[in-house]
Amino acid sequence: MSGLQRPTSWVIAGATSGAALVLCACGASSYRSEHAPERAAETCGAAETVSACEQRLQTYASQLDALVGPLASAPGAPPPAPGQIRQESLAPPELEAPAEVHSAPAPEAASEAYEADEAGGSERSAPPDCDAARDLRDRICELAAAICELAARSDAAAETKTTCDSSRTSCEQARTRVAAACPG
Amino acid sequence: MNGGAQVLRRCALAALLALAALLALAGCSEGRDAAEPVAGAGRTANDAREWLDRIASAHAHADEALAAGQPDRARTFLNAGLAREVPAEIAGEHARALRQDLWYRLSAIGLALEPSQALREADQGLALGRHDDLFSANLLVARGRALQALGRDTEAASSYHEALQIDERLLNAVLGAGAGSQLDGGP
């Protein structure tokens, strides 16, 4: 039943499999196997108690809240835990990536800084969600690439060229930060 | 830009997790109703469940239509999902997110058919509210694509940049607290 413990991973394999399998696990069947028949067969054979289902669904509710407003600026509202933002949810709309925004290898210095930080008793209680961080980094860099592709056109506005420079910097910073926080 | 099927598969991911949450909640409620009725569960819960099922069905049928090379048909299903009245039991932010994802998919599909329509659809999604979340970011990307297809490159770059800035803030949140993922484990 390891699949039930990581239901969001199913979303990667099939667009609707996440919803399908959750329904399956909770006893609803109408939607379960159209898009992930193998997974459905793997998971639906075992009954799940209501309490177990509800316990897991509390996690889902947290995920949803993280998706809907991870940085929501409601007055007085505490920020949600960033770790709730899941990799699958961060999958970016695809953009072509021109060569100029290709990444450099993760800088060793950054990794060392992270390790030193960890060894020195940082305030972190746990590592960040590196899957989410990497996906966000990729999104940022793909968007920067798209912007710079537009800026490279002969009739591009000066404003777009400026935005390209800024975006490229954002991409580089994202790469550096993620490399530092998520070595390896 | 890349091929439609691949793009659409990825573009749906954000809201699908949300759908999973909501549908799962509905599924659990139903399961418990059968065994041990809960006070307050009744027609309203059924309305919510039905709405969620309709949204899930819209996505599923759109997937099938796209796989069959029928984007217009896919759009029909997604529009049907948007046409459903949102039950009061569905939290406003959840409804907003799910409806924004429907708009996003419509825009993504429509891009290859009619960029100006895709632009309108992205704007309609954004009109539901701009937030620092993936739904707004995706719509901004869709808007940028449509603008780019229309030759409005400067505006396209601006939309892309807005999306990038949201992603930067999300990354800050992910790296800032460094809390362990709460989503890896389950019961």
What is the ipTM metric for this complex? Answer: 0.76
Q: Look at chain A and report how many structural domains it folds into.
A: 2
Does A172 lie in the same domain as A106? yes
B178: contact with A, CB 8 A cutoff: yes
All residues of chain B having their beta carbon less than 8 Å from the beta carbon of residue A25 are: 24, 27
Does A105 lie in the same domain as A71? no
Domain layout of chain B by residue ranges: 4-32+44-174
Does A64 lie in the same domain as A111? no
The count of CB pairs under 8 A between chains A and B is: 306
Residue A159: inside a domain = yes
Does A98 lie in the same domain as A50? no
Does A154 lie in the same domain as A109? yes
Domain end among A81, A106, A139: A81
Which pLDDT tens digit goes with each residue over A35-81?
A: 333 333 333 333 333 444 444 444 445 555 555 544 333 333 333 33
Q: Would you give per-residue pLDDT tens digits along chain B (187 residues)?
A: 343 333 333 434 444 555 555 545 544 444 333 333 344 445 667 888 889 889 999 999 999 999 999 999 999 999 999 999 999 888 898 899 999 999 999 999 999 999 999 999 999 999 999 999 999 999 999 999 999 999 999 999 999 999 999 999 999 999 985 443 332 222 2
Which pLDDT tens digit goes with each residue over A114-164?
A: 444 545 544 545 678 899 999 999 999 999 999 999 999 989 999 999 999
B18: contact with A, CB 8 A cutoff: yes
Domain end among A14, A48, A81: A81
B90: contact with A, CB 8 A cutoff: no
Residue A86: inside a domain = no
Q: What is the pLDDT of residue A8?
A: 25
Q: How many alpha carbons fall within 13 Å on the CB side of residue B17?
A: 31
Does A143 lie in the same domain as A100? yes
CB A36 within 8 A of CB B60: no
Does A102 lie in the same domain as A35? no
Residue A87: inside a domain = no
| Contact between B135 and A128 using a beta-carbon 8 Å cutoff | no
Q: Which CATH architecture fits B4-32+44-174?
A: Alpha Horseshoe (1.25)
Residue range(s) defining the domain that contains residue A66? 2-81
Which pLDDT tens digit goes with each residue over A87-96?
A: 333 444 555 4
Q: How many alpha carbons fall within 13 Å on the CB side of residue A78?
A: 4
Domain end among A81, A102, A120: A81
What is the CB neighbour count within 10 angstroms for residue A96?
10
3-state helix/strand/coil string of A56-121: HHHHHHHHHHHHHCCCCCCCCCCCCCHHHCCCHHHCCCCCCCCHHHCCCCCCHHHHHHHHHHHHCC
Does A101 lie in the same domain as A47? no
Q: What is the pLDDT of residue B43?
A: 60
Does A26 lie in the same domain as A45? yes
Say how many residues make up chain B: 187
